[in-house]
């Protein structure tokens, strides 16, 4: 849609989106004097958190593991991180959906290097992960966050590393 919007508006329209799959309560809520159509529930809250953490990773769309399972391979995704978001105890694996036409040979090589760096990051080898990520920092905006995070973790090694990136902002 971006090219059509650029043509009609004269500039690019960009937004960040979080997608999650789960149970929610949806409908008019409130009292006689004040009510609103809204939705509530853990799935809704996680969706909002995914939208917010896009900024941290330099992505525009993030989907949860539950959504990734529901799409059942309909389009390619890449794992971005295991995150613990504000308001949730359990970590959730988040993915970035990919446009199949955009995955050329160069993009495949970048994604392989990213996956290798992510595996090292999960293993707690932050120096090696940072080295891998630094090699593709110009090609992949997501790795900028990882280079910085690895630097933080190298300076202040976690006592009990559980492979989870704790997100402290909404």
Domains in the chain: ranges and CATH: 2-166 (3.30.70)
pTM of structure: 0.87
Phi, psi of 162, deg, nearest 5: -115, 20
pLDDT in tens, the chain (170 residues): 778 888 898 888 888 999 999 998 988 888 888 888 888 888 999 999 999 999 999 999 999 999 999 999 899 999 999 999 887 778 999 999 998 888 889 999 999 999 999 999 999 999 999 999 999 999 999 999 999 999 999 999 999 999 999 888 76
Strands of the sheet with 165-166, listed across from one edge? 17-19, 61-64, 92-97, 77-84, 165-166
Cα distance between residue 29 and residue 39, in whole Å: 9
Strand segments, DSSP code E, in 10-50 are 17-19, 25-30, 35-40
């Amino acid at each position: 849609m971006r090219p059509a919007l650029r043509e009609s508006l004269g500039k690019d329209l960009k937004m960040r989106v979080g997608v999650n799959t789960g149970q929610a309560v949806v409908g008019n809520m409130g009292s006689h004097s004040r009510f609103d159509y809204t939705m509530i529930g853990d799935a809704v809250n996680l969706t909002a958190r995914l939208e917010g953490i896009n900024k941290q990773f330099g992505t525009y769309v993030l989907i949860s593991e539950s959504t990734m399972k529901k799409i059942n391979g309909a389009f390619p995704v890449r794992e971005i991180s295991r995150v613990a978001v504000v308001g949730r105890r359990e970590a959730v694996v988040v993915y970035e959906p990919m446009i199949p036409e955009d995955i050329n040979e160069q993009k495949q090589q970048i994604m392989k290097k990213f996956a290798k760096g992510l595996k090292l990051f999960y293993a707690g080898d932050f120096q090696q992960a940072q080295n891998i990520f630094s090699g593709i920092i110009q090609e992949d905006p997501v790795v900028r966050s990882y280079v910085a995070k690895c630097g933080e973790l190298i300076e202040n090694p976690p006592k009990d590393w559980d492979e989870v990136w704790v997100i402290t902002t909404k």
